[in-house]
Structure 1
Amino acid sequence: MADSKVNDILLFMSVAAAGNFASAGRAFGLSRSTAGKAVTRLEDRYGVRLLNRTTRAVSLTEAGQRLFAQGEAIQAAIAEADACLDTVDGIPKGTLRITAPDALGRRIILPVVARFQKTWPDVRFEISFSDTVSRIIEDGFDLAIRVGVTTPDATLISRTLMVEKTVLCASPVYLTNRDAPRNVDQLSSHDLLQFSSVAKRQAWSLQDPSSFPGNVSGRVPLRMDSAEGLRAAALAGMGIALLPMVLVKDDLQAGRLLRVLPDVDCGEVPIIALYPHKKFLEPRVRRFIDALVSDLAPPSADAAPH
């Protein structure tokens, strides 16, 4: 039957994306053996091996790669069919799955979610707050919020929500125990708290008013994959951190953190929305992106003189 063949292809796609049969089966509410049988049926039907199997994981063969490419078209067609029905009345509804960095998500995304749900109560949210870069499509997210320059692949669309200045900051306790740096070169004698993850290691490129931009070298006793963790470390007096202003604004105003080298240009970071490229974008996704752009835009942007 044609419909059973399509189901087998979709299960095969899930196995290939997950890298194992157990996770793929669970995604469909099925057992590991059912997922395995679906792939075996396809291999018998086409007379080719689609997956290389090991005790730990599976990988696509050349024939499997060709079927996977065609399967993506099937998945897109099903998604577009769902979207067509979802957009009949244009009212946002259903579940919106979002991934965003922990600190940023708590401070600027959750307030937008709260306001959005008051306007569109039929939308439910599933949110993953993590600084780990997720595979947006493979992990089933509708929308990802990312900090920094991001070059998405052809399957993703990017939209800049805001551009935020970064600042050097440290606690009063840290600066009391040693001389505050008077220029970028003197940072080399200080403890620097830097972001680092599997995919990205932060490099500081700073510019004194009288010099060219340059990378900072110094002691880095602590690297973390969490901006919120770096903020906490700075508050604890562990060193100097370079963080987006939006994350430390309240701490600076309250005196819990102090600006370091305030005249130095520390650069800016874009805060970007990434979402899958679809012909029909579900109303819940489109409306929420619009809400983010509206809520995060600088208040004076529209009123600025031209």
Structure 2
Amino acid sequence: MLRANLNEILVFMAVVDEGSFIAGGQAMGLTRSAAGKAVSRLEDRLGVRLLNRTTRALSLTDEGRVFYDRGLQILAAVDEAEASVAGRHGTPRGVLRLTVPDAFGRLVVLPLLKRYLEAWPDIQVEVSFTDRRADIVEEGFDLAVRIGDAPADTRLVSRVVARYRAMLCAAPSYVARRGEPLDVDQLAAHDCLFFSSRNRRQSWRFLGDDGSWVKAQGRSRLRLDSGEALRNAAVAGLGIAFLPDFLVADDLAAGRLQQVLPDLEAEDVKIVAIYPTQRLLEPRVRRFIDLMIQELAPGAAATSRTRRTR
């Protein structure tokens, strides 16, 4: 009886994932009629309707959404159980759920994912490209890749996987119109493009002559919550931006941007891998972290960038 109950839950999950009883049934090796009956038996046993059925589409009820989300947690627990048996050197399998910054994800992470998927055929990957800082635990991500310092959250483990040089840059048209600042203090008279979101705001720090860190006091009329948007705004001549070299290398080479105050020494931009605390890290997560460290080590990033621009 227990096995039958689990099969009905799996059929329900497949129907939701595939969007119909026909496709969901095929995914489970069943006919449309058998899949429909399995879901109906599940609903009868639970005493609630899980799916709204129309002649054209299926949709989850509120109860169905709760049950589906719990089902995802169960499947994740099964993946973790397999990983615990496979151990550190086990074969990666299952679904790797990632959240990555938008521009960094497209420019740097996507090429890594291509190699990762080619190396491990039993892996599937779901990626959220966003500069919003997702709650990894609450939203069910296996791994987050973030730019900057890791959050102080005891539920999370963090590891620096790469470092990039950051620089001040502006469009030649902006420099021609407003002039070029000669030192950090003169940034106060310029339009500075800052990253800013609901819960954090970028600050610019540079190493002073006395060896201490100096915070730039730039004027900010435009604040954006996307690294790509900051780059586009700088290229459009809207101000001076402080951006990592992976994002602006092509623009500097093409003359769309130029470096401002190039002799200033700034902190490196850290790329951090963050994952939920657990005693055993699943092979699918560990292998991807290892790949990032291998490919994004000093020198490797420049090589990858050269390959992309050819």
| Structure 2 length-normalised TM | 0.70
Q: Matched residues in 2 for 1:85 and 1:30: separation?
A: 34
- Per the alignment, residue 62 of structure 2 pairs with 32
**Count of matched residue pairs:** 243
SS at match of 1:137: helix
Q: Matched residues in 2 for 1:171 and 1:36: separation?
A: 50
Q: Matched residues in 2 for 1:197 and 1:80: separation?
A: 34
Closer, same or farther: CA 81–121 of 1 in aligned 2, 3 Å: closer
CA contact (8 A) 2:88 2:281 kept: no
SS at match of 1:150: coil
- Per the alignment, residue 112 of structure 1 pairs with 112
CA contact (8 A) 1:208 1:263 kept: no
Q: Which letter maps to 2:247? A: L
Closer, same or farther: CA 298–33 of 1 in aligned 2, 3 Å: closer
SS at match of 1:233: helix
CA contact (8 A) 2:205 2:213 kept: yes
CA contact (8 A) 1:80 1:278 kept: no
- Per the alignment, residue 30 of structure 2 pairs with none
Q: Which letter maps to 1:225? A: D
Q: Matched residues in 2 for 1:153 and 1:192: separation?
A: 31
1:143-185 CA-partner distances (Å, limit 9, x unpaired): 1001111134222111111122210000011111121001111
CA contact (8 A) 2:83 2:90 kept: no
Identical counterparts, % of pairs: 46
Q: Matched residues in 2 for 1:188 and 1:253: separation?
A: 27
Closer, same or farther: CA 261–276 of 1 in aligned 2, 3 Å: same
5+ residue gaps, structure 1: 5-24, 38-73, 302-306
Q: Matched residues in 1 for 2:270 and 2:90: separation?
A: 30
1:211-255 CA-partner distances (Å, limit 9, x unpaired): 743222232111011011000000000000011112111211221
Specify which structure has the higher proportion of helix: 2
RMSD over equivalenced CA pairs, Å: 3.1
Q: Matched residues in 1 for 2:247 and 2:91: separation?
A: 33
Q: Pairwise mapping of residues 1-306 of structure 1 onto structure 2 (< 5 A)?
A: 31-33=61-63, 80-84=80-84, 90-209=90-209, 212-299=212-299
5+ residue gaps, structure 2: 6-49, 52-58, 68-73, 302-310
Q: Which letter maps to 2:227? A: A
CA contact (8 A) 1:161 1:293 kept: yes
Q: Matched residues in 1 for 2:277 and 2:79: separation?
A: 11
Closer, same or farther: CA 257–114 of 1 in aligned 2, 3 Å: same
| Structure 1 length-normalised TM | 0.71
Closer, same or farther: CA 290–88 of 1 in aligned 2, 3 Å: closer
Closer, same or farther: CA 211–298 of 1 in aligned 2, 3 Å: closer
CA contact (8 A) 2:88 2:283 kept: no
SS at match of 1:138: helix
